[in-house]
Structure 1
Amino acid sequence: MRAVSATTSRHVLVVEGNRAERSSLARALTACGFVVDTAFPGAEALRQITAMAYDVVVLDIYAPGGAEALRYLRERTPQTAVIVVTGSVA
Protein backbone atom coordinates (compact mmCIF):
# COMPACT_ATOMS: atom_id res chain seq x y z
CA MET A 1 0.00 0.00 0.00
CA ARG A 2 1.20 3.49 -0.81
CA ALA A 3 1.35 6.04 2.01
CA VAL A 4 -1.07 8.95 2.09
CA SER A 5 0.42 12.42 2.38
CA ALA A 6 -0.38 14.51 5.45
CA THR A 7 -2.34 17.00 3.36
CA THR A 8 -4.63 14.32 1.96
CA SER A 9 -4.96 11.94 4.91
CA ARG A 10 -8.26 10.11 5.03
CA HIS A 11 -10.29 9.12 8.07
CA VAL A 12 -11.17 5.42 8.00
CA LEU A 13 -13.46 3.35 10.21
CA VAL A 14 -12.75 -0.38 10.36
CA VAL A 15 -15.83 -2.39 11.42
CA GLU A 16 -14.87 -6.01 11.98
CA GLY A 17 -16.10 -8.58 14.49
CA ASN A 18 -12.81 -10.45 14.75
CA ARG A 19 -10.52 -8.48 17.07
CA ALA A 20 -7.30 -9.76 15.47
CA GLU A 21 -8.46 -8.90 11.95
CA ARG A 22 -9.74 -5.49 13.10
CA SER A 23 -6.37 -4.70 14.71
CA SER A 24 -4.41 -5.97 11.73
CA LEU A 25 -6.38 -3.84 9.28
CA ALA A 26 -6.06 -0.79 11.52
CA ARG A 27 -2.28 -1.21 11.87
CA ALA A 28 -1.79 -1.62 8.12
CA LEU A 29 -3.91 1.42 7.28
CA THR A 30 -2.26 3.54 9.98
CA ALA A 31 1.19 2.58 8.67
CA CYS A 32 0.11 3.92 5.29
CA GLY A 33 -0.85 7.29 6.75
CA PHE A 34 -4.58 6.89 7.27
CA VAL A 35 -6.29 8.12 10.43
CA VAL A 36 -8.07 4.98 11.66
CA ASP A 37 -10.84 4.29 14.16
CA THR A 38 -12.15 0.81 14.88
CA ALA A 39 -15.52 -0.47 15.98
CA PHE A 40 -17.15 -3.74 16.85
CA PRO A 41 -20.10 -4.42 14.50
CA GLY A 42 -23.60 -3.44 15.54
CA ALA A 43 -24.58 -0.58 17.84
CA GLU A 44 -20.97 0.54 18.44
CA ALA A 45 -20.33 0.90 14.72
CA LEU A 46 -23.57 2.80 14.11
CA ARG A 47 -22.75 5.21 16.96
CA GLN A 48 -19.37 5.97 15.42
CA ILE A 49 -20.76 6.27 11.89
CA THR A 50 -23.36 8.80 13.05
CA ALA A 51 -20.86 10.75 15.18
CA MET A 52 -18.05 11.17 12.63
CA ALA A 53 -17.82 11.93 8.92
CA TYR A 54 -15.59 9.12 7.64
CA ASP A 55 -14.03 9.14 4.19
CA VAL A 56 -13.94 5.34 4.08
CA VAL A 57 -15.62 2.57 6.07
CA VAL A 58 -14.24 -0.97 5.90
CA LEU A 59 -17.26 -3.08 6.82
CA ASP A 60 -17.73 -6.77 7.55
CA ILE A 61 -21.08 -7.19 5.83
CA TYR A 62 -21.95 -10.49 7.53
CA ALA A 63 -21.19 -9.32 11.06
CA PRO A 64 -24.17 -8.47 13.27
CA GLY A 65 -25.57 -5.14 12.07
CA GLY A 66 -23.37 -5.11 8.96
CA ALA A 67 -26.23 -4.90 6.48
CA GLU A 68 -27.93 -2.19 8.53
CA ALA A 69 -24.71 -0.17 8.69
CA LEU A 70 -24.30 -0.46 4.92
CA ARG A 71 -27.89 0.64 4.36
CA TYR A 72 -27.39 3.64 6.69
CA LEU A 73 -24.17 4.64 4.91
CA ARG A 74 -25.77 4.41 1.45
CA GLU A 75 -28.85 6.40 2.50
CA ARG A 76 -27.36 9.05 4.80
CA THR A 77 -23.72 9.44 3.72
CA PRO A 78 -23.50 8.46 0.05
CA GLN A 79 -20.17 10.32 -0.24
CA THR A 80 -18.54 7.79 2.12
CA ALA A 81 -16.65 5.05 0.30
CA VAL A 82 -17.45 1.60 1.68
CA ILE A 83 -15.16 -1.40 1.34
CA VAL A 84 -17.16 -4.54 2.06
CA VAL A 85 -15.24 -7.49 3.51
CA THR A 86 -16.20 -10.79 5.06
CA GLY A 87 -14.47 -13.79 6.51
CA SER A 88 -17.55 -15.87 5.77
CA VAL A 89 -17.18 -18.82 3.46
CA ALA A 90 -20.16 -19.61 1.25
Structure 2
Amino acid sequence: MANAGPDMKKNPSVVCTELDEGAVLLNLDTRYYFNLNETGLRIWQIMDECQHPVAIAEKLACEYDVTVERSTASVVSLMRDLEKEGLIIF
Protein backbone atom coordinates (compact mmCIF):
# COMPACT_ATOMS: atom_id res chain seq x y z
CA MET A 1 0.00 0.00 0.00
CA ALA A 2 1.08 3.56 -0.57
CA ASN A 3 3.10 5.01 2.26
CA ALA A 4 6.21 7.11 2.56
CA GLY A 5 8.40 4.11 1.72
CA PRO A 6 8.25 2.35 -1.65
CA ASP A 7 8.82 3.77 -5.08
CA MET A 8 5.92 3.71 -7.48
CA LYS A 9 5.34 4.20 -11.16
CA LYS A 10 2.47 5.22 -13.35
CA ASN A 11 0.43 2.37 -14.77
CA PRO A 12 1.30 2.32 -18.50
CA SER A 13 -2.40 1.73 -19.28
CA VAL A 14 -3.31 5.16 -17.89
CA VAL A 15 -3.62 8.27 -20.04
CA CYS A 16 -3.74 11.79 -18.66
CA THR A 17 -5.71 14.64 -20.20
CA GLU A 18 -4.87 18.03 -18.75
CA LEU A 19 -7.70 20.50 -18.23
CA ASP A 20 -7.75 24.16 -17.19
CA GLU A 21 -7.84 23.36 -13.48
CA GLY A 22 -6.43 19.85 -13.19
CA ALA A 23 -6.63 16.68 -15.21
CA VAL A 24 -8.54 13.48 -15.87
CA LEU A 25 -6.81 10.11 -15.72
CA LEU A 26 -8.27 7.21 -17.69
CA ASN A 27 -7.27 3.63 -17.07
CA LEU A 28 -7.67 2.07 -20.51
CA ASP A 29 -7.90 -1.44 -19.03
CA THR A 30 -10.74 -0.72 -16.61
CA ARG A 31 -12.20 2.35 -18.35
CA TYR A 32 -12.15 4.07 -14.96
CA TYR A 33 -11.86 7.88 -14.87
CA PHE A 34 -10.16 9.72 -12.01
CA ASN A 35 -10.20 13.52 -11.60
CA LEU A 36 -7.15 15.41 -10.36
CA ASN A 37 -7.16 18.96 -9.07
CA GLU A 38 -4.22 21.27 -9.85
CA THR A 39 -2.12 19.92 -6.98
CA GLY A 40 -2.91 16.33 -7.94
CA LEU A 41 -1.88 17.07 -11.50
CA ARG A 42 1.39 18.56 -10.29
CA ILE A 43 2.07 15.41 -8.24
CA TRP A 44 1.32 13.32 -11.36
CA GLN A 45 3.78 15.44 -13.35
CA ILE A 46 6.50 15.20 -10.69
CA MET A 47 6.20 11.40 -10.88
CA ASP A 48 7.94 11.65 -14.27
CA GLU A 49 11.04 12.93 -12.43
CA CYS A 50 10.95 10.89 -9.22
CA GLN A 51 8.91 7.95 -7.99
CA HIS A 52 9.45 8.04 -4.23
CA PRO A 53 6.61 9.66 -2.24
CA VAL A 54 8.97 11.57 0.06
CA ALA A 55 10.98 12.97 -2.87
CA ILE A 56 7.74 14.05 -4.53
CA ALA A 57 6.57 15.65 -1.27
CA GLU A 58 9.85 17.54 -0.85
CA LYS A 59 9.62 18.97 -4.36
CA LEU A 60 5.95 19.85 -3.88
CA ALA A 61 6.68 21.52 -0.52
CA CYS A 62 9.22 23.83 -2.17
CA GLU A 63 6.88 24.72 -5.02
CA TYR A 64 3.83 25.40 -2.83
CA ASP A 65 5.68 26.81 0.21
CA VAL A 66 4.22 24.31 2.69
CA THR A 67 5.90 22.01 5.20
CA VAL A 68 7.28 18.69 4.02
CA GLU A 69 5.06 16.96 6.58
CA ARG A 70 1.91 18.52 5.14
CA SER A 71 3.04 17.81 1.60
CA THR A 72 3.91 14.20 2.48
CA ALA A 73 0.45 13.65 3.94
CA SER A 74 -1.15 14.96 0.74
CA VAL A 75 1.09 12.88 -1.51
CA VAL A 76 0.52 9.68 0.48
CA SER A 77 -3.24 10.25 0.49
CA LEU A 78 -3.32 10.70 -3.28
CA MET A 79 -1.03 7.70 -3.82
CA ARG A 80 -3.42 5.51 -1.81
CA ASP A 81 -6.33 6.63 -3.98
CA LEU A 82 -4.37 6.15 -7.21
CA GLU A 83 -3.15 2.72 -6.14
CA LYS A 84 -6.66 1.64 -5.13
CA GLU A 85 -7.89 2.48 -8.62
CA GLY A 86 -4.94 0.80 -10.37
CA LEU A 87 -3.55 4.07 -11.70
CA ILE A 88 -0.10 3.59 -10.15
CA ILE A 89 1.94 0.50 -9.38
CA PHE A 90 4.25 -0.15 -6.42
Q: Same fold (TM over 0.5)?
A: no
| Higher relative contact order (CA closer than 8 Å, sequence separation 6+) | 2
Q: Structure 1 length normalisation: TM-score?
A: 0.31
